[in-house]
A and B are shown apart, each in its own frame.
Chain A
Amino acid sequence: MAEPRIWAGGAVLATLVAVALLAPWLAPHDPLAQDLLAGQLPPFWLAGADPLYPLGTDSLGRDLLSRLIYGARVALTVAVVASALAALLGTALGLVAGWFGGWADMAISRLIDIWMAFPPVLLSIVLVAVIGAGLPAVIIAIVIVDWTRFARVIRAEAIQQRGRDYITSAVTIGLGRWAILLREILPNVLPLLLVLLTLEMGVAVIVEAILSFVGLSVSSDSPTWGGLIAEGRQYIHQAWWVMVAPICCLIVVVVGLNALGDGLKNALDPVLRR
């Protein structure tokens, strides 16, 4: 295999899926169980650690490793659901704008312009505040903010495909406009869409972490990586290690998904592959 990045990124994604699915069996403790006598225990590599809590505990004595493992569930859910929905919406609008052109293109392009004038982080924070906290709100916010990532690129690609000979042939043999869009153009933008989808999964994980960090994501009862970071930020001078593990998890996942996306881009592009 010429693309080691696909393997490395795929391994990260597979691990995330496995940890999220197997969380109840992997976690040594109940992620919500408090043990006030064992609060702010350091991780195993520091003096005073308790082998029962390998990564230490937070200020309420909850096991950090277990919270981290359960946090993978939220991260994976958001990554998959939010990016799939954003891809669906953005691709549909991008294809319509790029293929039909005219006023449809003008309307959608103006909409994208308006969207690009919002700071994305602030927009998602406002949206979650408006919709109300919780996992569905986070997912809806990510879809509403990030559909333009797909729409812009897919629109440009559809315009490029429109000029190709095979489209002229399809028009000549009398295929309908929607038929050409769905049977000719859509399959040809799929490789690009797959790359965008992979990269968007990384973005979605980060946005969820940001919203948890600000305190607007899911309730503190279900542990999230961003929530752990926010907790850690409060006691940074007493228990800095609370932040370390979730930050490392986020970096590994984001770098992995990026590597997977870049690898796919190279592998799927016939020009670069040659």
Chain B
Amino acid sequence: MNATYLARRLLLAIPTLAGVAVIVFVLLRVVPGDPIAMMIPPGAGEDDIERLRALYGLDLPIWQQFLAWLGDVAVGDFGTSISLRQNVLGLVLSRLPATLELAAVAMLLALAIGLTLGLVATRWRGHWPEAGTDGIVGLALAVPDFLWALVFVLLLGVAWPVLPISGRLDPRLGLEFTTSFYLIESLVTGRFAVAGMLLSHLLLPATALALPLASVIARVLKTSMAEVMGEDYILMARVKGFGAWRVILGEALRNALIPTVTLSGVQFTFLVGGTVLIERIFSYPGIGNMAIGAVIERDLPLIQGLILTFAVLFIAVNLIIDMAMVWLDPRVRHG
């Protein structure tokens, strides 16, 4: 792993994050509708309003508010949520694991579906499986995750109710967890029945999130496999008498993966961004659902904290993709 390359990428993330912080702050300071007005009970006096303003720092000039906020954010203090009256960082951290688990399951599903479709199309090029996977990929790419989610809710949640369409786990079971990573915790501690229940709740939202990414992976993989399969070393492997799958999986796949990872990287950040709405549709208790709630409640500190969290997630995802590239491609690794 090239350390200077990684360090440069990390440094480049700082101005981006600072830009996000400035835009978030400016954007939300022009929100019409006084957040204080929503907190006070009817009949509160002017004094009470002024005291609350001072408490949240809303009485200072705007540039002082920004500097104070930036200083606090830099040390991990995102302030206090106005609607939930709790520490924003604590709220975000309590909900973040749910979103991370959803995104991770969605990513694994996207990889599984995308690689399968791409490899099937490669293996049976020119035959009906290629046309079939092309059709599936085209549809999965055209229809956004929002609509897939609604279709799944209708078909598998209502018309033929086989899977849960709401929440992370049935709250009536009253299950206890020590961490907020329910799925990982239940897998590690061997509570497989609980893990199964968690997965059944995750399956529909994760599939809705996964389909667009899966179709991009399938399409790019198919194209780059077609290129790699024309190389001399593939011919060599065939001459040696390797079977079709051995040639595809053992010889061609690794080289075809490089463009696949590069080109699906952007789509993966879309997957992370997509959790916002998908969580809302499935009433899933992650940071995306919380963000929409915060916007509706006009909870400024919470919105600011959540958008910054997403920005950090996006930048982290891009870094991980870059690192995957370095690991896959020796030209970059030694370049």
User: Which residues of A in the span 120-151 have a Cβ within 8 Å of any Cβ on B?
Assistant: 120-123, 125-127, 129-130, 132
A129 to B143, CA, bound (A): 26
Q: A127 and B27: CB pair below 8 A?
A: yes
| Chain-A contact segment, one of B80-88, B194-202, B310-318 | B310-318
Tally A residues with Cβ within 8 Å of B. 40
A206 to B31, CA, bound (A): 25
A121 to B147, CA, bound (A): 14
| Chain-A contact segment, one of B153-161, B185-193, B225-233 | B153-161
Residues of A near B288 (CB, < 8 A) are: 119, 122
Instruction: Judge whether A27 is part of the interface by a CB distance below 8 angstroms.
Output: no
Q: A129 and B150: CB pair below 8 A?
A: no
| Chain-A contact segment, one of B14-22, B40-48, B69-77, B241-249 | B14-22
Instruction: Judge whether B259 is part of the interface by a CB distance below 8 angstroms.
Output: no
Residues of B near A229 (CB, < 8 A) are: 150
Q: B20 and A118: CB pair below 8 A?
A: yes
Instruction: Judge whether B274 is part of the interface by a CB distance below 8 angstroms.
Output: yes
Residue of A nearest to B266 (CB): A116
| Chain-B contact segment, one of A28-36, A58-66, A80-88, A242-250 | A242-250
Instruction: Judge whether A117 is part of the interface by a CB distance below 8 angstroms.
Output: yes
Q: A126 and B273: CB pair below 8 A?
A: no
| Chain-B contact segment, one of A46-54, A161-169, A253-261 | A253-261
Q: A258 and B16: CB pair below 8 A?
A: no
Instruction: Judge whether A251 is part of the interface by a CB distance below 8 angstroms.
Output: yes
Say whether, besides A250-B147, A251-B143, A126 and B303 are in contact (CB < 8 Å).
yes
Residue of B nearest to A119 (CB): B273
A132 to B30, CA, bound (A): 11
Instruction: Judge whether A114 is part of the interface by a CB distance below 8 angstroms.
Output: yes
What string of 1s and 0s marks CB contacts (under 8 Å) between B265-292 and chain A? 0100110111011001100000010011
A202 to B146, CA, bound (A): 13
User: Which residues of B in the span 27-43 have a Cβ within 8 Å of any Cβ on A?
Assistant: 27-28, 30-32
Residues of A near B17 (CB, < 8 A) are: 117
Q: A243 and B314: CB pair below 8 A?
A: no
A251 CB to closest chain B CB, in angstroms? 6
A233 to B283, CA, bound (A): 12
Instruction: Judge whether A7 is part of the interface by a CB distance below 8 angstroms.
Output: no
Please pick, from A114, A118, A119, A130, the residue contacting B30 in the complex, using a CB distance under 8 A: A130
User: Which residues of B in the span 108-157 have a Cβ within 8 Å of any Cβ on A?
Assistant: 139, 141-144, 146-147, 150-151, 153-154, 157
Q: B314 and A130: CB pair below 8 A?
A: no
Residues of A near B142 (CB, < 8 A) are: 202, 254-255, 258-259
Say whether, besides A118-B307, A119-B310, A125-B292, A210 and B277 are in contact (CB < 8 Å).
yes
A233 to B158, CA, bound (A): 11
A31 to B211, CA, bound (A): 35
A273 to B277, CA, bound (A): 39
Please pick, from B15, B150, B276, the residue contacting A122 in the complex, using a CB distance under 8 A: B276
Instruction: Judge whether B222 is part of the interface by a CB distance below 8 angstroms.
Output: no
Say whether, besides A117-B17, A120-B273, A122-B276, A243 and B154 are in contact (CB < 8 Å).
yes
Please pick, from A126, A206, A243, the residue contacting B146 in the complex, using a CB distance under 8 A: A206
Say whether, besides A214-B292, A247-B150, A251-B147, A117 and B20 are in contact (CB < 8 Å).
yes
A56 to B138, CA, bound (A): 32
**Per DSSP, are chain B's interface residues mostly helix, strand or loop, or mixed?**
helix
Residues of B near A233 (CB, < 8 A) are: 150, 153, 281
Residues of A near B277 (CB, < 8 A) are: 121, 210, 213-214
Residues of B near A122 (CB, < 8 A) are: 273, 276, 288, 291-292, 295, 306-307, 310
Instruction: Judge whether A209 is part of the interface by a CB distance below 8 angstroms.
Output: yes
Residues of B near A202 (CB, < 8 A) are: 142
Q: B147 and A254: CB pair below 8 A?
A: yes
Q: A118 and B295: CB pair below 8 A?
A: no
Residues of B near A206 (CB, < 8 A) are: 144, 146-147
What string of 1s and 0s marks CB contacts (under 8 Å) between A215-255 and chain B? 11000000000000100010011001001100100110011
A245 CB to closest chain B CB, in angstroms? 11
Q: B314 and A116: CB pair below 8 A?
A: yes
Residue of A nearest to B29 (CB): A130
A59 to B305, CA, bound (A): 38
Residues of A near B281 (CB, < 8 A) are: 233
A214 to B143, CA, bound (A): 19
Residues of B near A132 (CB, < 8 A) are: 32
Q: B311 and A121: CB pair below 8 A?
A: no
Residues of B near A120 (CB, < 8 A) are: 270, 273
Residues of B near A269 (CB, < 8 A) are: none
Q: B19 and A240: CB pair below 8 A?
A: no
Instruction: Judge whether A113 is part of the interface by a CB distance below 8 angstroms.
Output: yes
Residues of A within 8 A of B (CB): 110-111, 113-114, 116-123, 125-127, 129-130, 132, 202, 206, 209-210, 213-216, 229, 233, 236-237, 240, 243-244, 247, 250-251, 254-255, 258-259
A-B contact pairs, 29 of them (CB 8 A): A114-B23, A116-B266, A116-B314, A117-B19, A118-B310, A119-B273, A119-B314, A121-B277, A122-B307, A123-B307, A125-B292, A126-B28, A126-B307, A127-B27, A130-B27, A130-B30, A130-B31, A213-B277, A214-B277, A214-B292, A216-B295, A216-B296, A237-B158, A243-B150, A244-B154, A247-B151, A251-B143, A255-B142, A258-B142
Additional 19 contacts, C-beta under 8 A, given A214-B292, A236-B153:
A114-B23, A116-B314, A117-B16, A118-B23, A118-B307, A119-B274, A120-B273, A121-B274, A121-B276, A122-B295, A122-B306, A126-B307, A129-B295, A130-B27, A130-B28, A206-B144, A209-B146, A210-B277, A213-B277
